[in-house]
Amino acid sequence: MNASIQPRFALLAAVLLGAVTGCVDFDREETEFCQRNPVRCEADAGLSPDSGAGNSVVLMRYDRYYTPSGIVSRPAADLDTAPLELFSLDGGTLVRLQGSQPEPGRVRFEAPPGTYYAKSGDLYVVTSSRQVDFSTPRSGRPDTRFLEGEPAFPMRFHVTGASPWNTGYGTSYMSDYLRLVDFNRGEVASLAVFGIPPGTTSLENAEGNYFTTVNFAIPFFEPDKGDQAWLIQKTYQDAGVTADGGPSFYETSTHATLVDSLTLDGGVDGGGVFELKATLQPTPQKNVTFEWRRGDFAALSSEQPSESGGFSRSLFTLFATPHDMTLHRLGGLVAFTFQDEGRSTLVRRLAYGNPFPSSWELMGWTYLSYSTEVTSVDGRLSTSRYDLFVVQEQLPKLTSTPIQPRLSLPRRFLIDGVSATESRTLGVFSPTVTWEPPALGTPSAYSLRVEQLGLPGTFEAPRTVADFRLGPSERGVRIPLGILTSARSYVFRLTVHAEPQTSLESPRYFSGSLEYAYSTTSSGILTVP
């Protein structure tokens, strides 16, 4: 990968860098880009010889690594366990088509024009498109080495310059802590410090633990490969009173720095104890003011938490990103969580520190859910049925006017013609799910996630068994045979997306654009006979 590709090409490059060799004729913009910049596509401009066209369909899957210097693509590491597959639907039965693999990460199928179920893992794209790209965007360099074992290691701190350490917010879990952020490794870690007295400003020889929060294992810190970690002291500040007169807090930072060193005494293979050296500095402080008209969202939901015993949860997050897309919201600056009836207007002015470069985009993300408990028809299972609304926009745009809904819920959510919100026993193993578009907003796609609930009397966690993605003009999907299992119970989550920058044929990029909205509604508990 040519290192000259800058992060500002992220949205475009995420589509066109489908392979280490060759351009992908994924859409008109990509073709024009490759014609203007053949070196950046690392091939002659023009069509890839195996692009889907005519009677062929091409599926691809790469891990696309976003680094400070550009984007690097590699064939997906889990192709053996999540192969690329293409099916036609005969009645309720999926019929697998045979494909050929011209190169790792890409499979070509001979298939006449029509609608197909393209699949990788539990993700399905129901489409008539000739190409589907299941590639996954990842933050960090592809050659990162990981420490084997648990995602936590002991630490020893040599940190000075901290803001006076605060442990007294009225609750045991709301005390200061340290966070480590490294975009080159795609890492965010929470660093617990043990036994720090209130008011401490020097953490010399303090002990604690390193917990990775976005990776399954801890990525090894290698400065010679460009790794550069911010150390941020996270603290809580007053966010005003709640509707019932109680206190509320939000998380932000006042001190941060780039670490001097982060070493592991046993090396990447030997483990041991992390040693962290840094001198924290005060971060420039700014304010964010927002007016969140939550009553306008509540009016779109069928859930009424205060009347039915359910609850509402509100989250406002401010973060910085170096890319033209968002990955895990790594550069968090403000986290404000509020749990109440979810109807009153929230007006807040919150101070925050920002240690990141001024060139990084400031983004605002809001989440608002309304939940009630539902039970299965036999009364043996219960879970939350919820409606939720998410809006993410560049901060000036989000906060310059009151925050209001961009997208309402899908209407007439039915399963075999019966309201999906009713808990019941299904009559078939291959039901048809239908809906109507939302009254507010312009959809760019729909998704339907099928969650299998744990067996009654067990601690089995719910798990996703299928996630279907469909275009904005679709009004339903048939669940193929083999997805629902006899004597098991399920919840269907239907989401409408407003994210025109992301193509349906790049399904793993949803909720990755700088600006998007989505709204989700849920079924009751559906039991298979």
Q: Taking the mean position of all CA atoms in its chain, how far away is CA 227?
A: 23
Show the tokens assigned to 265.
């005494």
List for the chain the helix, strand, coil content (%; round to 5). 10, 45, 45
**Token representation of residue 340:** 């109440």
Counting every residue, how long is the chain? 529
Q: What pLDDT score was predicted for residue 512?
A: 87
Beta strands in 161-259 (DSSP E): 177-182, 187-193, 203-212, 230-241, 247-258
First and final C-alpha spacing in the chain: 52
Please, which residues have CB within 8 angstroms of residue 460's CB and are 6 or more apart in sequence?
454
| Per-residue confidence (pLDDT) for residue 68, from 0 to 100 | 78
**Whether the Cβ atoms of residue 318 and residue 392 lie closer than 8 Å to each other:** no
Tell me how far apart the alpha carbons of residues 343 and 300 are, in angstroms, rounded to a whole number.
11
DSSP β-bridge partners for residue 419? 414
Spatial separation of the C-alpha atoms in residues 510 and 522, rounded to whole Å: 19
User: Interior CA angle at 305 toward 302 and 306, to 5°?
Assistant: 130
- Tens of each residue's pLDDT in the chain, 529 residues: 333 333 333 333 332 233 322 333 333 433 443 343 333 333 332 334 445 557 899 999 999 998 877 889 999 999 999 999 999 999 999 999 999 999 999 999 999 999 999 999 999 999 999 999 999 999 899 999 998 877 788 999 999 999 999 886 555 457 899 999 999 999 999 999 998 899 999 999 999 999 998 888 899 999 999 999 999 999 999 998 877 777 889 999 999 999 999 999 877 776 789 999 999 999 999 999 999 999 999 999 987 665 556 789 999 999 999 877 787 677 899 999 988 888 999 999 999 999 999 999 999 999 999 999 999 999 999 999 999 999 999 999 999 999 999 999 999 999 999 999 999 999 999 999 999 999 999 999 999 999 999 999 999 999 999 999 999 999 999 999 999 999 999 999 999 999 998 999 999 999 989 999 999 999 999 999 9
Q: What is the pLDDT of residue 3?
A: 33
pLDDT of residue 51: 53
Candidates 53, 52, 51, 34; CA nearest to 43 is 34
Nearest to 316 by CA among 362, 351, 370, 366: 366
pLDDT the model gives residue 52: 55
Q: Enter the pTM of the model.
A: 0.86
* Alpha-carbon gap, residue 98 to 465, rounded angstroms: 23
Q: Check if the beta carbon of residue 98 is closer than 8 Å to that of residue 42.
A: no
Task: Decide if 463 contacts 122 (C-beta within 8 A).
Answer: no
User: Which residue pairs from 44-53 have beta carbons closer than 8 angstroms and sit at least 24 positions apart in sequence?
Assistant: 47/23, 48/19, 48/22, 48/23, 48/24, 49/22, 50/102, 50/106, 50/108, 51/24, 51/25, 51/130, 51/131, 52/108, 52/129, 52/130, 52/131, 53/130
What are the structure tokens assigned to 41, written together?
Answer: 């596509």
* pLDDT attached to residue 91: 92
> Collapsing DSSP states into helix, strand and coil, what is residue 490?
strand
- Cα three-residue angle 137-142-145, rounded to 5 degrees: 125
**pLDDT of 267:** 76
Please tell me the predicted confidence (pLDDT) of residue 272: 84
| Those residues with Cβ within 8 angstroms of residue 258's Cβ, 6 or more apart along the chain or in another chain | 228, 229, 230, 231, 278
CA angle 149, 153, 159 (to 5 degrees): 155
Rounded to the nearest 10°, the torsion over CA 116, 120, 121, 122 is -40
Measured in degrees and rounded to the nearest 5, phi and psi for residue 298 equal -60, -35
* Alpha carbon 421 to chain centroid, angstroms: 26
- Phi and psi, residue 196, nearest 5°: -90, 120
Q: Is 33 in a helix, a strand, or coil?
A: helix
- Is residue 300 helix, strand or coil? coil
- Residue 352's nearest CA partner among 291, 395, 391 is 395
